[in-house]
Amino acid sequence: MSAATEAAVGGRRPAPRIRRGLRLAVSQGQFLTVLAGVFLILMLLMIVQDGAGTAGNEVWRGLVLGAIYALIAVGYTLVYGIIELINFAHGDVFTLSAFYSIFLAGIPGVQEGFFKRFFGFDINHLAGSSPGGLVLALLIIFPISMILAGLTGVLIERVAYRRLRNAPRLAPLITAVGVSFLLEGIMFAFFVPPAPPGQPGLGTPGAAYPTGEDGWIPTTHVLFNIGGSHGVVIGANDAMVIVIALVAMFALAGFIRYSRTGKAMRASAQNRDAAQLCGININRTISATFFLGSALAAVGGVVYAMHYHTITWNQGYQFGLIAFTAAVLGGIGNIVGAGIGGFLIGLVEAFTVTLIPNGGSWALIVVFAVLILVLTLQPTGLLGMRVPDRA
Amino acid sequence: MALLEVDAVDVFYGRVRALQGVSIEVDEGEIVALIGSNGAGKTTTLRTISGLVRPARGAVRLAGKPIHTMGAEQIARMGIGHAPEGRRLFPRMTVQENLDMGAYSRRDGAKVKHDFAWVYSLFPRLAERRRQLAGSLSGGEQQMVAIGRALMSRPRVLLLDEPSLGLAPILVDAIFDVIREINGEGTTILLIEQNALIALHTAARAYVLETGSVTLSGPASELLASADVQRAYLGM
């Protein structure tokens, strides 16, 4: 082409405006600044009130919980990004995957694990034998639980959502709520401790499922202690949660960025027709999305079961909603945003618990207040998409 | 036998009939134009060929093989490249990534590299902007990415939907120069164009669509000379 033509092509249009929710909406920059400011002030308040050591421990605990929210949030954001569905069953896939891992490994003295029963191989013993054995046990339990959860996610999409892909938006949404109840019912039937003899019913609703008092990594094992006896304690157990979560999320981000399937997922999310015209199989790509999202939730589920020692059949409902909040805070559809949002929500919980008297019962109220504020002020979240789709 | 045959195709959107008995043939190595006013069914015809819309009756064949029962992604792999209406880029991917998606189903890595070089030589502007997000490009540049992406699949037939839409006149000529160049290197082209004059000067043959049916067809030179075409589409 001639130089003149190239000049004609070159003129860039002014930066396009991003659609905003309400007139209240603030710019992304303002939002970030305010958010950073608020977090700083809360942190200072905590230090003044409880001293640096306690404040540090609470923040650290918030980050550990946040890591789990982050792992779940990624699944919400992936699925929303590609089919614009809020997959309400996702939180229950998280719980279910924790139960998968318990089913595989068993609980010493309570329940025989799958490996022990069918192969005579005690994975709990292996985990306790040596650091190398622990790593090996993790390398067995994580992939298998992730694959089982991934297949569960694929099955859910195939059975419940696929036929509704071109239905009005509300239909798959309600179906997702239905799938959530279905999964919770299944978990209730299988994983609730039996009712005491003479009492009616399947069992005690809300009863915790014991995942064993002594986990694979003893809670007493301290990795770092910053600032002595009143300082910040970093347990190996906590560190494991954060390390595994970060590794899983970076691996996922890399997969989405560089792999063929990952590119197909991004393309399908940005323009489904065009993706098909490029030879991308949409159904297979959506299945892959559900597989990955559910596998990440399984990382969260397994880590949760190992770290917190009890898990309840209906816990996924609450965890799902909190993780969804994290995904919205980070900017729904944005994977890095979901990760950051998860950690931030974990911190919000930590602040609530320490700064408000009897804060534990306020945690959910504060988290959902955050959700409402984000949706009002900055619907695209922290890292919402800055480049609009131009038809 | 024609390379691409659209054989007596009917298409409905709900109850509305969009195409009625449309038949089009494109021979290997040809440029064929589809002209007609807004809503005549030109875009629907291309979307039917590439499998985004299913015909209620009739058949679409590529080299004699029926393709209208296949999914769009299979048809793409069979050798139909489609630069769709409205460009439909992946806005949050770079230019390079968009082109790369065009080669998604190809396994011949070395030739893909060669074709990157080829597309960048057709559109030097894109080479400069390869790391830029496609959504941030100007309309003309986006059109180039759309055509380039369709070319990256090395299609046997390239479908172009309004390549000149919204472009400055000087750019329209440039794009059509490139279209002739692509055709000169052996790619068969079926294109839709509002600008009937340039379409008829570029194509060997053309079809005129009116409210979902082919009303006229023949060598481009004959259509250019036809009084009906001159009055309705050339403003003479």
Q: In this structure, what CATH number is given to the domain that contains residue A269?
A: 1.10.3470
B163: helix, strand or coil: coil
Range of the domain at A99: 50-193+201-377
- Domain assignment present for B220: yes
Q: How far apart are CA B144 and CA B202, in angstroms?
A: 18
Rounded Cα distance between B205 and B193, Å, is 13
- Quote the CA–CA distance of A300 and A101 in Å, as a whole number: 11
Distance between CA A333 and CA A381 in Å, rounded? 10
Residue A5 lies in a domain: no
A40 is a domain residue: no
Percentage helix, strand, coil for chain B under 3-state DSSP, each rounded to 5: 40, 25, 35
Q: Does B110 touch chain A (CB under 8 A)?
A: no
CATH number, residue B230: 3.40.50.300
- ipTM comes to 0.92
In the block, residue with structure tokens 């540049």: B141
**B97: Cα within 13 Å, side-chain hemisphere:** 24
In a domain, B46, yes or no: yes
- Record the tokens describing residue B180, joined without a space: 């002739």
Q: Is residue A301 part of a domain?
A: yes
Residue B136 lies in a domain: no
Question: Which residues from B are below 8 Å from A13, CB to CB?
Answer: 138
Burial of B167 (C-beta count, 10 Å sphere; 0-12/13-18/19+) = buried
Pick the more confident residue, A102 or B68: B68
For A362-387, the pLDDT digits (tens) are 988 999 998 898 888 888 888 775 44
Tell me the chain B residues in contact with residue A263 when contact means C-beta distances shorter than 8 Å: 97, 100-101, 104
Per-residue tokens: A69? 């929210």
What is the pLDDT, as a whole number, of residue A378? 82
Please report whether residue B64 resides in a domain.
yes
pLDDT, one tens digit per residue, over A228-269 is: 777 888 888 889 999 999 999 999 999 999 999 999 999 999
The alpha carbon dihedral of A276, A279, A280, A283 has a sign of positive
Share of chain A above pLDDT 70, in %: 85
Q: What is the pLDDT of residues A197-237, one digit of tens each?
A: 666 555 555 566 666 666 677 767 777 887 777 788 888 88
Q: How many domains does chain A have?
A: 1
Of B87, B97, B124, the CB nearest to A1: B124
Range of the domain at B17: 1-79+157-166+188-236
- What is the three-state SS of chain A? CCHHHHHHHHCCCCCCCCCCCCCCCCCHHHHHHHHHHHHHHHHHHHHHHHHHHHHHHHHHHHHHHHHHHHHHHHHHHHHHHHHCCCCCCHHHHHHHHHHHHHHHHEECCCEECHHHHHHCCCHHHHHHHCHHHHHHHHHHHHHHHHHHHHHHHHHHHHHHHHHHCCCCCHHHHHHHHHHHHHHHHHHHHHHCCECCCCCCCCECCCCEEECCCCCCCCCCCEEEEECHHHCEEEEHHHHHHHHHHHHHHHHHHHHHHHCHHHHHHHHHHHCHHHHHHCCCCHHHHHHHHHHHHHHHHHHHHHHHHHHHCEEECCHHHHHHHHHHHHHHHHCCCCHHHHHHHHHHHHHHHHHHHHHCCCHHHHHHHHHHHHHHHHHHHCCCCCCCCCCCCCC
Residue A42, domain member (yes or no): no
A119 backbone φψ class: left, alpha, beta (φ>0; ψ -120 to 50): alpha
Residue A390 is assigned to a structural domain of this protein: no
Could you tell me whether strands B4-13 and B157-161 are parallel, antiparallel, or unpaired per DSSP bridges?
Answer: unpaired
What would the pLDDT profile of A141-170 be if each residue is shown by its tens digit?
A: 999 999 999 999 999 999 999 999 989 989
Name which of A379, A373, A341, A298 is nearest A21 in CA terms: A379
Query: What confidence tens digit (pLDDT) does each residue in B119-175 have?
Result: 999 999 999 999 999 999 988 899 999 999 999 999 999 999 999 887 888 888 989
Between B104, B125, B141, which is nearest A279 by CB?
B104
In a domain, B146, yes or no: no
CB contacts under 8 A, B 144-203 vs A, are 144, 149-150, 153, 168, 170-171, 173-174, 177-178
Number of domains in chain B: 1
pTM for this one? Answer: 0.87
**Longest CA–CA separation in chain B, Å:** 51
B121 to chain A: nearest residue by CA?
A1
pLDDT of residue A390: 40
With respect to residue B125, please indicate whether it lies within any of the assigned structural domains: no
Q: Is residue B61 part of a domain?
A: yes
Contact between B178 and A263 using a beta-carbon 8 Å cutoff: no
Task: Determine the residue of chain B that is closest to A1 in CA distance.
Answer: B174
Separation of alpha carbons B234 and B227, rounded Å: 10
